[in-house]
Amino acid sequence: MTVAIDRVTLEVLRNHYQAVVEDMARIMERTAYTTFVKETADFSTGLVSSGGEYVAYPWNLGASSYLGLNMAHTLAYFDHYDEGDIVICNDAYLSGPLCTHLPDIHILRPIFHAGRIICWGYAFVHSSDIGGAVPASVWPRATEIFQEGLRLRPTKLFRAGVLQEDVKNLISDNCRIPEVNWGDIKAMVAAVSSCDRRIQEMIGKFGLATVVEGIDAVLDYAEQRARAAIRKIPDGTYRFTEYMEDDLRSEVPIRIEVALTIEGDTIHLDFTGTDPQVSSALNIASHGVTHPFLCQAINAYLVTEDPGIPKASSILRPVRVTAPPGCLVNALFPSPIGVRYGTVLRVFDAVLGALAQALPGRVPAAPAGGISPVVASVLDLMTGQRQVQVVEPMLGGGGGRPEMDGISGADSTAGFLRNTPVESIEAEVPIVMRRYHLIPDTGGAGEYRGGLAVRLDFQVFHPHAIVTARGMERCRLEPWGVAGGRAGTSGSCVVNRGTPRARDIGKVDVLHLEPGDVVSFFSPSGGGHGDPRRRDPVAVQNDVRAGFLSVERARAAYGVALVGGQVDAKATAGLRAAMPAPPNGGFDFGERRAEMERRWPLAIQDAAFRVLESVPAAVRDWGKHQIYERIREIAAARPPTTADVDEAWADIRGRLARALGES
């Protein structure tokens, strides 16, 4: 039996579906054990259709980056489900495109009525530790996924409502914090059980046919609204290049290429030309599908252009993705993927840059583009066991926006993760927080400035203390400004800053600290939007009064003269008349990117990419390093040419051919 869903009924149903997932999220928030879930909110919930698409997703609570996931592959893993079954998984290769790295644990519960599955309840948490080589499990220098922790293909944690103790024990025995991990999993179980109960209540209220047909109606309606928003973008192909600063082994850049093609109400994102997968944990296992990790900038455009659009996976139905197998954004097993979100943020910037060309003046500048959950691990001095605590999800500033400054200390691409209260941190792990504040004189200059960066300092007192901070990026290449705005500032990490024992760490891999050490993290800031000479002098004055901007930077970056805290209009007019115009081309990438491209010219990068396509994906990263090392040696004597790449490759290819047994 089918029923017609009119517009009024559709709105009532979508609000009910949304209320179901938001109630699930509140249950998670109130019952989870780890601070990173209950305080910082690195979790989510969802109502999933029988075909594996989100019908509703709590956009304003927790991690927003999974909107658009399709779970069909995971749901099809078992050919039979019983009422009360709950599936758990975390492996990105064995679970299809649902999972993205091992610390993210996902569960799904089939919701039955009258003997058939009508939808699924879903939840995930970022586990503070799932085993592996380092505390918190995310090791940037991992070379294969086996070093990153416990791998779970889709597995029934509950069968017909009965907990499978062997599965529970397997999880608990392979992590450093079994009790709190199990507490988070129980919170997920409670959430999906609530989903079951609430859907049954909806069926009692509206009838089975209406609830089931309503799911498809909401998905179709979200798709229609997405297509309407896409039609507002001019047809054409828009290209953009972004870089990961390095692969954590050497300062060899990793190029991300995207071509954004708009044709009517459809989008094609083509990542052909993106560099090969790497031998560190920066890879994305997207399976080459329309994955939200490759489409976050599209999601951001859609929910900004149409704030009322249903938060459903079907908003990405009009989007097609091409990501060649073996490239950075479609890595193949067993590539490590623990720090995949650092790359996701660079993909976001690449697609955002393409959108900025399609919609001049309407797209923000690049945000800080880095989320680095800072993790402190100390020994219990009596038992020798490790405590693992996520201290803060270090975020930088948002990019300057059309007609609005970027948000300071918050980056929308990282979802809605919250600051962790200092009291909670110090209660959970024996460290002392020394500083946590916005950094003055950061934020790219612009008519609308970028959001300010953040500084975090804490002190450890235990021997054998370890700090990790996955995903540190933008430590050299600044976030770009747009429409005449200037680039933002980069981030860093320093131990014992301002003392004779100071150490500039740069990016953190695994940082070992001694008792008394103070570690300081500095996040990047957002790029600016629009010509800084057009910024309202009163806005500059207000920033100085708020402590966001020094008098000296107000003068140098904005041409605003302040005397006694007030704007000197005549001096300001003179300063601004003498300031150079912003560079042509719309984007300011900062001097460090220009320096990097002088060191590694685009023609050399193109030539290296071309020759590497001829060998298996598993050895392209090795071959790239061989080529770049040879070019580095040549560059010490003279400018390298593409012929040098071909000559170097002939020698390298010969050695590789012998290894492959080729003639």
pLDDT at 415: 63
Q: Is 621 part of a structural domain of the chain?
A: yes
Q: Kindly tell me if the per-residue pLDDT of 135 is higher than 90.
A: no
**Side-chain-side CA neighbours of residue 161 (13 Å):** 6
Which residue, among 379, 271, 249, 412, has the nearest Cα to 328 in the 3D structure? 271
Mean pLDDT of 36-52: 91
Q: Is 642 part of a structural domain of the chain?
A: yes
Cis peptide before 253 (omega within 30 of 0): no
Task: Output the 3-class SS for 397-419.
Answer: CCCCECCECCCCCCCHHHCECCC
Averaged pLDDT of the chain: 92
The domain boundary residue, chosen from 226, 241, 265 = 226
d(CA 628, CA 370): 26
Q: pLDDT category, 386, cuts 50, 70, 90?
A: confident
pLDDT at 462: 86
Q: Is 561 part of a structural domain of the chain?
A: no
Question: For residue 327, with 0-12 CB atoms within 10 Å meaning exposed, 13-18 middle and 19 or more buried, which class applies?
Answer: buried
d(CA 548, CA 546): 6
Residue 639 CB partners (closer than 8 Å, separation 6+): none
Mean pLDDT of 459-485: 90
Beta-bridged to residue 419, according to DSSP, are: none
> Following DSSP, what letter does each residue of 451-476 receive, concatenated?
PP-EEEEEEE-STTEEEEETT---SS
Q: pLDDT category, 279, cuts 50, 70, 90?
A: very high
Residue 423 CB partners (closer than 8 Å, separation 6+): none
Beta-bridged to residue 529, according to DSSP, are: 448, 482
Which residue, among 398, 426, 448, 413, has the nearest Cα to 341 in the 3D structure? 413
Q: Is 135 part of a structural domain of the chain?
A: yes
Q: Tens digits of per-residue pLDDT, 330-382? A: 999 999 999 999 999 999 999 999 999 999 999 999 999 877 888 888 887 77
Q: Tens digits of per-residue pLDDT, 211-247? A: 999 999 999 999 999 999 999 999 999 999 999 998 8
Q: Which helix (H) or strand (E) holds 241?
A: strand 236-244
Mean pLDDT of 89-93: 96
Considering just the CA atoms, what is the radius of gyration of the chain in Å?
A: 25
84: left (phi over 0), alpha (psi -120 to 50) or beta: left
Q: Is 283 part of a structural domain of the chain?
A: no
Helices (H) and strands (E) in the chain, counts: 16, 24
Mean pLDDT of 457-461: 94
Q: For the chain, what is the domain count?
A: 2
The whole domain housing 643 covers 600-660
Phi and psi (nearest 5°) for 187? -65, -40
d(CA 404, CA 645): 46
Q: pLDDT category, 531, cuts 50, 70, 90?
A: very high
Mean pLDDT of 33-39: 85
d(CA 285, CA 627): 25
Which residue, among 587, 593, 604, has the nearest Cα to 642 in the 3D structure? 604
- Orientation angle between helical segments 178-206 and 208-230, nearest 10 degrees: 110
Residue 88 CB partners (closer than 8 Å, separation 6+): 105, 106, 107, 152, 154, 155, 156, 157, 167, 171, 185
The domain boundary residue, chosen from 184, 205, 226 = 226
d(CA 444, CA 232): 29
Q: pLDDT category, 656, cuts 50, 70, 90?
A: confident
Residue 233 CB partners (closer than 8 Å, separation 6+): 262, 355, 358, 359
Q: Is 262 part of a structural domain of the chain?
A: no
**Side-chain-side CA neighbours of residue 366 (13 Å):** 34
Pairing between β-strand 266-270 and β-strand 319-322 as defined by DSSP bridges? parallel
3-class secondary-structure state, position 255: strand
311 touches 332 (CB < 8 A) = no
**Between 153 and 426, residue with greater pLDDT:** 153
Q: Is 460 part of a structural domain of the chain?
A: no
pLDDT at 655: 82
pLDDT at 663: 47
271 touches 308 (CB < 8 A) = no
Mean pLDDT of 53-59: 92
Q: pLDDT category, 645, cuts 50, 70, 90?
A: very high
The domain boundary residue, chosen from 226, 261, 288 = 226
Residue 647 CB partners (closer than 8 Å, separation 6+): none
pLDDT at 227: 98
405 touches 452 (CB < 8 A) = no
Q: Is 191 part of a structural domain of the chain?
A: yes
